[in-house]
Amino acid sequence: MTEETAAATVGREVIASARGLVKRYGATAVVAGVDLDIHRGECLALLGPNGAGKTTTLRLLLGLTPPSAGTIDVLGHPVPAEARAMRARAGIVPQFDSLDPDFTVSENLLTYGSYFGLSRRRVTERLDY
As a whole number, the mean pLDDT across the chain is: 87
Q: What are phi and psi of 94, to 5 degrees?
A: -70, 150
Q: Would the pLDDT of 91 be above 60?
A: yes
Residue 54 contacts residue 48 (beta carbons within 8 Å): yes
105 and 77 in a common domain: no
pLDDT of residue 2: 62
Structural domain span for residue 77: 3-85
80 and 44 in a common domain: yes
Q: How far apart are CA 2 and CA 124, in angstroms?
A: 48
Provide the CATH number for the domain around residue 20: 3.40.50.300
41 and 60 in a common domain: yes
